[in-house]
Each structure stands twice: as structure tokens, then as C-alpha cells.
Structure 1
């Protein structure tokens, strides 16, 4: 079935709860979902003009038919959806894969041993402690032990590098004992390593007792430098202990859950508290989507009913999923006792939810290689422009023309806050033959929308989140009219206006109101960079065409060579110099050049 036929079929569905099953042309199930109202939900997939993220767009492209199962209630739809997904594992439903795996504490065999967290054992002679099921817990243990006992984490080799260079920043801020200074004996270093391993293996209680005993012995022997180091280690452990009281749950069994999104993925982070202590962290990445709500709605029931070995008494979330009461009821039936599913508004649990969200953002930043700065910038831009979500894909347009009425347009793309040069495009006007920026901009965006409707390739297959025009109310008015009844009609549209010195001043809304950027330094710099890049791209295209015209006019000085032949010669040889140096046979070989014209060009350049 075509997309239109699927939409027509979806319009015939009842406004009742149920499960829908989408198949590809081969009859394979590619997606399963539930709906409160089947007609409303399913028709959204196939109706023209409804925006979707990359993952859903791919699913719709591969959809060929669908079936539905009507249920008596949303609760029944939830139960049925979970069982069907578990059974069929459709390609476009989210896959519950996290970074969980066996981890080890590695202790190197060298004169000055190092302690680190690793994911697998190697045959390198080192000692490995483990395995542990939580990589998060291992990383936390190792980081705490290294910080408390001030063990080095640099690339220096000891004792070879002792006395070479100054101590690093870690030494100055109290996170390293500065073995490189030569003031730390091998015996003192060995005691620190033993203490770190004791802390990892046995916890804080026993190591504090041992360190206090060693400190008293050192003081009695008047070894005040060693006693001071032991005192600092005791203070560090006690400080860590005090800090851990903050990262605790008031509920013995609680999961804390939050989501974050980037330009290409959504991350779900879960902090797991047992006996009030943070015992694990799990992170799940879902690529090719930015739809946080859709991921939350699907992820929570699947995680607790399929993946998690334990449903806790309390689940604190950043936002409740759709149909959360049915989900809570299903969790309670599975657990066999009451389950609290809620959004904390204040207090320590609210802080823990924010902590989970921060971990999700950090994981996305590590995954994509981008810095949080770009995401923060897009968030700020969205807030200033009143957008529902950060504009991950921004397209910007500028018109460049010259005196004979010829115009060209440049289109640049910013994705994730950075230029995406592979998406840049250029347009030569096909219907506008006068210097009319409004008409030229309207033609450009009309062609852009047409390419998207036809399922164009590359950037033309992408629906932008924001469109910026170099110009004011006139350009916006012309483009809005051109985009009417197209899939791009709902894309937010703003004009970029400049001051008397031709510098970015602000943004114009479709209603003609100006948004001042001077009070928002980061957004001002961002919009300025987009506007400057669009202007550069459009002008470069115009200059290149002008240069080509100049070359073509030079060739038209040859008797018997008209515009078509001149264009064919330049298309084949690229430059006038190459045409001038070409042999007669080479000129004849150029497509669109007759033997008569080739001889005329050859004779002309041999005579001049």
C-alpha cells in the first residue's frame, strides 16, 4: 500500500484503545504500539505534513500494511503491547541495551603500582580484582580510592620520571601525592596503594581504624610528615562518607529515572538505590530519535516488565508517561505489592532526578563527541524563539543578485549547533528574471519544499526544525505564502535583520515583531555566524557564475562561437586557458562542439 492508502485505511479505524502492528512489504513486523484512540494515533503516521524524527521516518518509509487489535481498555492494550513486543522484537521498537557488563579493578605490577577500572582482563601480569556486575560501581570505587590516597593518574613512569619536571595540577589541588617530586618514598607509596585496595575490598569502617592506628604510630616516632599524610587520608575518607549521605534515597528500594535528548539520540539514565545506597547506574541509548516523550512511553513498561530483574517499591521519574496509572497497576500486579510511581517536586529525591538527568546529558555528550555548550546554546535559542524543542536542524537562506536581473540563492545547514557543509545547497533562479529578493526567496523555498515532498536525497530528505531567512517581513511574507499547503508550512520561520552597519541586529517573527538579540550574547553570536555563513555561501556562488560568464564572453569573441558552444567548451575544459592550449582533435572531442567551431577556436587562439 502507498502512504496515502495507509492513511485512508487508518481513517476508518475506531476511536477505541488497542494495539497496532505495522509490517513491511515482506510481511515482517517492524513496529508495535498501543493507542488510546487507534484512529488518531495510527493516522498520524501516514498523514502528510506531520513531522517525525529520523527513526519514525524510516519506519514509515518501510511500512506497507498494518493490523490492529481492539481492546476493552488502555490497561489491556498496555499488557498486550508488552507481550507482543517481547515475542516479536520489532526492528523499530526500542532495544534495551545498556553499557552494563563485567568490570574489574586492575592493579599493575610495577615499582609504583597504578589502580584503574577496566572492562576485561588481559594477560599482562597485572592483578585483577573482580568481576563486578556494575561498571558504574567499579568506576566509583576506583575514583574514590585514588582520590582519597592521592595516587597518580598521569602518564609518567616511576621511578624513571622522578625529579623530571614540576608536579601537575592534581598535586596542587590535593588529588595526587606528587611522586614525581621525589619527596615520597617507595614505602609510603606502597602503604597508600595498600590502603586504597583495602578501601575497595572492605569499605570505609576497617580502613579508618587501620589508618588511625598508623597515624598514632607515626606521631610517636616523630615521623610528622607521614602522620600528616595519614591524617589527610582519614579526613578524605570521612569527607567522602559525609558526601555519600547526600546521594542517598530515603526509600530503601527506589529507582530514579530521567531522560535527555541530543540531535541524534535519546538517553535514559536510571540510578538504582537499595537499602538507601546508590548501588548502580544504568544508561540506555536510543539512536535516530529526538522524541523524548515517545521513548519514555515505550521504555518504562519494557524496562520493568522485560529487562529488570526487580521492581522496587518506589520509582521517581522526571515526567510521568502517558497512561501511567495503567503502568503502575501492571507493576503492582507483577511485584505483588504497592509501587509508587511519581514525579518528585522538591527535596532530596528531586535532586536525585536532576542528577540522573545530568548523567543522561553527559552520556550523550560523550557518545556524540559534542560538548554540552552546543546543546545549551540550542536550548537557549529555543527558549528565546518560543520553540517547543531545541532546533537540531536549522536551514538558512540568502539571495545574491547582480544588475542584469539574475539571482542565486544559498542554503546552509546547521545541525547540532554546528555547520553541516554536506547539506549546503545552491539555487539558480528559474522563474525570476528581475532583482526581486522576495520573489527569489519564495521560489527557493518552494523548490526546497517540492524536493522534500518528492522524497529528495541528502539534505532535501530532511525536514528542518527551524528556517531562517536573510531579510525581514517582506521575505517572511513571501515565503509563508510559497510554503502554504506543503510539508514545510509548519516549520518555524524567522527573518534575520541587520542594522545600519550591516551587522546582525535581531530576528523578525512571522507577525512582524522583532526579537532583540543584544541581551542574549551566545544566541546573538550563534545567529550572526549563521547569517554570515549564509551570505558568504550565496555570494561565492554568484561570483563563480559571474566568473564563468566572463570566461564564456571571452570565448564568444571567437567568430562562429555562440553561448551554447562557449558553455560546452567551458564545461569540458573548465578554463579558457585549457581551451586555448587544446589541440584541434581535443576540441572536436568536446560534447556539443562541432568540427567547424573547433577549427574556428583552434585558429583564433593560434593567431592571437
Structure 2
């Protein structure tokens, strides 16, 4: 336990401003271990370092960071909403181990439209944040995103290529997509910039869930074209309206209103936490997604929801006008922040009864079932995997090893040594848990001392509850390395 605050840190705590902003906590190695935001940096940060907090043993993983803080930084912002936006960006950048965050480190696919281009293109990507680009998603997998792009280009022939085009005077040869009706060939000046921008605007409206609004706009445009005796264009618009109507017509209506809603439910069991998002567009359930969370042990649902919402919507996800939640998030600034992202008012609902309450219960129950399914799959995979069963028999283990940690040392010359840890769960590589260790205390090529340092550093974190306890530990080398690890 920590009994006092070091001088440098104590000095910073004395001069914290009474202003909104973001604070960044670092450990002795300089790694960012926690990021938070506050309406008053002075009040919030000092609350962590009260004598009562420092003297009692930490009971939750999130409380442990107080005892590991060696340095503090802060960034003052104009208001709490701005602080919230910055906090979300910094958490995504640093992935601090004491923040509640999305469990999967993989990037989910998005659909991107390059609005800054003279003739914007539409693509599937896993990278977000580029200026002048609008993102839609995330989607469950790349196949879903690509299928949506395929359907969109059938209705709105937007280019999917990476050609660099000028506002006019493009003289390239049209590709196959033009000849099959999936591109309007702006590369060959086969469409005006104004007409092309109308296609892009319609695609963005449809991707944002505004199907009903888009149909109304297309109908108005069709009537105008007919009145101006532009019958060929009116016919194209008529066909486009029918194609838009066909998209998603198999979906059943679950809301009498045409409002867009995201319904968010959460469940937790022990150190497992799962969030389920139901996406309702034009009164129809069009998609559902789930996310497991890291670092959620001991946190309340309101705290988990606040952390999830910041990360989910800061990644570029479409922000609907209504957010229906199981509990109110532990952050009053979220509604204002979401409204700023959307460019219009976002209402947060925590229903106790009625249609929305039933939807929340569906989302919560699905999240609960996903945790149970995950646990069953882990147990079943571990107990049914023939290789793991054989390993249990060879090593005379008390049970099948569901989690295995493996350590090795690599020497590149006399002055460059690195320790590595790999993890297998249920017999499969679990790359989220892979670690690299820069050797700090050993000079020369002493494998025994290096193995001792690496295993000691890692299992201190395990003892502190920061990482799971393995069922089996493998050390690459001979008896000397094994004895060093067992010290």
C-alpha cells in the first residue's frame, strides 16, 4: 500500500487548476495507466490521493492505479464536453490498463466516404479519423460492410476506386463497374459534379438510417424532373426509390415512430462484462452488435456504460437522435457530447416501463446470454480439446489447462535482449495478452537472470489482479531457466 505521495507528484497536486480538463496518470516506467476527465481538475484529482484512499487496501482494479501513479499530466479544456471528447481520444490512443475499455483490440470495419474529394469514393476500412472523410459503422465484420457497399453502388453508382480525380476535365477510361451500372464514371466526365454529389448525399442519408427521409427527397426530385419534362431522369429516380424501398423491407417494425434509436443493455458476471447494442432505424431493428469489456471488474453498470459510450461513438459510429439505456451513465456530460457529435440534439432515455423498457430488457438478456455462452465455450473447448487433454495427461495436471503462459528470451547481440510472453486460451493463441519485456536489470547475456526478471515483473501484476492466473506456465530453456522462474 502507498503511505505517502512523492515530492514531484505532491507539488503538481498543489497547483492543479480549478478548471475542466483531462488528467493523465503515468507509472514509474512512464506508461499511461489511467486517463480521466473532470469538471474541476483540482477537486477530482485530489480526491484520489486522500489519506483514507492511500491507506486502505484497494478492493477494485480501478483503485489500484492510485498506488502505481508516479507522475501526472493534465490538459485544461474550455468545458466538460470538450474534456470528454479529449478523454475518449486519449483512451483510444493509449489503451490504459486501468480504464474500462472495449475488450477486442481489433478494429471493426467501417464504410468511409471521402467527402473532401471532388468526386467522393466509397470504401470499407478499419482505420478512422482522417479529415474530410465521413465514417459509418462499425459493422460486425467486413463481409457485412462490403455487402452494404455493393447494394449502395447498385442504387447510387458511386465510385469505389482510388483514382485521383479533378473537379472537371477527367479523361480516363471507365472501368468495368461503369459498364455494369455500379459506377457513374466521373473519371471520364460521364456525370456532372452536381449530379454526382446528389448521389453521395443520398447514400449518406441512407447509411445514416434516414430511409424514409431519403424516399421523400427522391420523390420530390422525381416530380420536379417530370414537370421539367426530364423523363429519363424521372424514370431513373423512380427506379432508385423502388430499390431503396426494397432494402430492409423484410425487417419487422418494432417501433411505431420513425425515430432512430440505439438500445444499449449491459450484463456482468465476475470479471466478465458484455454490452449489447440494438440499432433501430425508421422503427425497424436493422442490426445488433455486442462488445466485451476489459478492466470492468468491480465497476458499476453506470460506470461501464459511460466508458463504453465514449469509445463506441468516438470511433465514428452513427449517433442516433435517441439513446435508450439500461442505466444512466456515470457522466452527465455525455448527452451534450453526443449532441455535438451528431450535430443535433440527442436524448437519453432510461425507461422503467413500456416499449423501450422491453427493448432494453432484450438487449440486457442477450448480453447476459453472450457471457454465459462465452464461458461455456471456453470450458467446453478446454475440456474437449484433444491436445489439451493429452497435455494434462503427460504433465499429470489436476485439470485441463484452459490458459497457458509461455516465456522466452531473445538475445540480439550482447546489448539487446528482449523477453516475450505468449498466451494460449482454450488451445488457441490469445494475442490480446501477448507481452514484450525490455530487460532492465541484467547486464550481459544471462538467460537465467533475464527469465527471473521477466516472470517476476509479470506475476507481480497477476498478484495485483491486473491479469488472469494461468493454469500452466511454460519456460523455454532447461532446468536453469526453470529454476530461475520458480524462485
Give the TM-score taking structure 2 as reference length.
0.42
Higher normalized contact order (CA 8 Å, seq sep 6+, divided by chain length): 2
